Structure 1
């Protein structure tokens, strides 16, 4: 089996265009935390995301996407998302292998790289009430905005049916 390079932001935008999904991307200095990205809020409207790459003891992987200030109880989230046990953070190696991103760049758009269906994507229902959802386009030096309905369409086009669940307290 040959290793293929992860898809890039350019590939992501081409897929969105092919699906007729309107999107807008703003480039900015790399941000690694919610606190660092707070300065961009005035420039980029909509719901901003925090993404957790977690796994259970059976090596089922999940990306949990919530509103940036939401609180996620990692001790109990496994009951909500269907994990077999309490979850822990997935390794940077698996993150790169499955999502094509490095720590600090985890994003719902990583679904484009999960061609093997190794990751279950969970979208918080609170976040999905936002008209516009913002996420990193596979790197943390830009933010891409699309509608919440189009986010679901994108996920389905990558072969993922995201779970929309109440995962925040």
Structure 2
């Protein structure tokens, strides 16, 4: 699904959402320059894989948090982790670097990506801001809705602390 398809999906599914269009951003530092309506709900999304390239994980945390992959590995009992390649990102989720998003899992036809989302996104106001599979916008959705969409698609979802 591309950006317009994500917007249509949300509208047709009657999911509350708000869209912030902006210049293309490739990292959290560039996003800091954008005037966001819900900066406390902005997500950082990391696409990682294990050392055998058999298991893929999308980790979404609050934008100001750091993720220690060694600590994540220990806590969730995975093999050694590293960032997935641009080829893996395109082949699995149909995305380019800089556009990593939980909505990319809707392109994961084999549902091989496991989604780990920071439990803090469920606290008030219960929103999360992610790219709509394109880094020229941020779409704000209710965290519970996003979790439900990903689960219904067939990917595993894990709500956890970071």
TM-score norm. by structure 1 comes to 0.87
Instruction: Tell me how many residue pairs correspond in the alignment.
Output: 159
Q: CA offsets, 1:33-90, max 9 Å, x none?
A: 11111122x432151011111011232000000001101111221123342x120011
**How far, CA to CA, are the matches of 1:18 and 1:160 in structure 2?**
21
- Structure with bigger helix share is 2
Equivalent residue number for residue 138 of structure 2: 143
Q: CA offsets, 1:98-144, max 9 Å, x none?
A: 11111111111111101111211110112332521100000111000
Contact map agreement 1:49 1:67 (CA 8 A) in 2: yes
Equivalent residue number for residue 151 of structure 2: 156
Unaligned runs of 5+ in 1: 1-6
**How far, CA to CA, are the matches of 1:96 and 1:51 in structure 2?**
15
Contact map agreement 2:113 2:156 (CA 8 A) in 1: no
Unaligned runs of 5+ in 2: none
**How far, CA to CA, are the matches of 1:128 and 1:154 in structure 2?**
15
Q: What is the deviation of 1:154?
A: 1.6
TM-score norm. by structure 2 comes to 0.90
- CA-atom RMSD in angstroms: 1.5
